[in-house]
């Protein structure tokens, strides 16, 4: 899994602060000066006026994730997606093996690998027989790797983090959310952003979906556009 920040609003906090001030000012946004104190933005978010965050956007390339994960990702509707096409790009050999399968031992992993290999072989055979790729792909497993480009505004991202950084989210999308959150936090305080790319690092507290949502991260590590996105008990 690889998450790369392709593009983002570099002055996100300043821009959103000006937008928040413009709602209550007689002056236009072009005449409003920004200050280091983000009181207007903080007050807007506290009052639920989070539409001002929609003026900042972030575009990520997410590579090497399963189709299971991409299906979960695109359920977040306030976003733009461009996903690798199995119809034209074909099916690669890569696939995602869940940690639970690896932890179960060699027998479980051998069963998983054999099924994946059989599906890939069957797919290739169908292609050789003249079946179009767009039809042969019907037998491709959900573990097959895919790439997707995602653009979300800051408001949508905060909601995404709130839902997907929780331990109730499945491990793969939770890892993506945490990586994206770390990148966003860096992008909001660093200028320019050095090498905004992070490889997959398994979370120490990997748990399956359905586990009670404990305090996942400390309040200090949740800074993205000034306020935490998760409540920590």
Catalytic residue flag (residue 164)? yes
CB of 146 closer than 8 Å to CB of 72: no
Alpha-carbon gap, residue 112 to 206, rounded angstroms: 20
Domains of the chain in sequence order = 2-83+149-222 (3.30.1360.170), 99-139 (no CATH)
CA–CA separation, 30 and 23 (whole Å): 13
Of 67, 158, 164, 178, catalytic: 164
Segments of 71-166 assigned E as strands: 80-83, 145-153
- 166: closest CA among 158, 177, 180, 181? 177
Per-residue pLDDT of the chain in tens (233 residues, 90 and over written 9): 999 999 998 888 888 888 988 888 888 888 887 666 678 888 888 888 889 999 999 999 999 999 999 999 999 989 999 999 888 887 877 899 999 999 999 999 999 999 999 999 999 999 999 999 999 999 999 999 999 999 999 999 988 988 898 888 999 999 999 999 888 887 764 333 333 333 333 344 444 433 334 333 333 333 455 443 433 22
| Residue 6, helix vs strand vs coil | strand
């Amino acid at each position: 899994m690889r998450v790369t920040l392709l593009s983002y609003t570099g002055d996100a906090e300043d821009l959103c602060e000006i937008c928040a001030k413009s709602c209550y000012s007689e002056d236009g946004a072009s005449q409003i000066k920004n200050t280091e104190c983000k009181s207007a933005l903080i007050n807007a978010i506290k009052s639920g006026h989070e539409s001002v965050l929609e003026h900042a956007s972030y575009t990520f390339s997410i590579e090497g994730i399963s189709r299971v994960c991409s299906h979960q990702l695109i359920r977040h509707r306030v976003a733009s997606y461009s996903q690798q096409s199995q119809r034209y790009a074909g099916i690669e050999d890569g696939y995602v093996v869940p940690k639970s399968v690896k932890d179960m031992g060699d027998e479980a992993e051998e069963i998983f690998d054999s099924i994946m290999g059989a599906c890939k072989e069957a797919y290739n055979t169908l292609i050789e027989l003249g079946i179009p790729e767009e039809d042969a792909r019907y037998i491709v497993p959900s573990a097959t790797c895919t790439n997707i480009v995602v653009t979300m505004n800051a408001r949508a991202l905060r909601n995404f983090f709130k839902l997907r950084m929780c331990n109730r989210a499945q491990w793969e999308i939770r890892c993506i959310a945490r990586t994206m959150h770390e990148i966003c936090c860096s992008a909001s305080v660093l200028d320019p952003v050095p090498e905004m790319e992070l490889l997959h690092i398994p979370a120490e507290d990997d748990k399956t979906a359905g586990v009670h949502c404990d305090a996942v991260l400390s309040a200090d590590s949740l800074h993205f556009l000034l306020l935490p996105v998760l409540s920590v008990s």
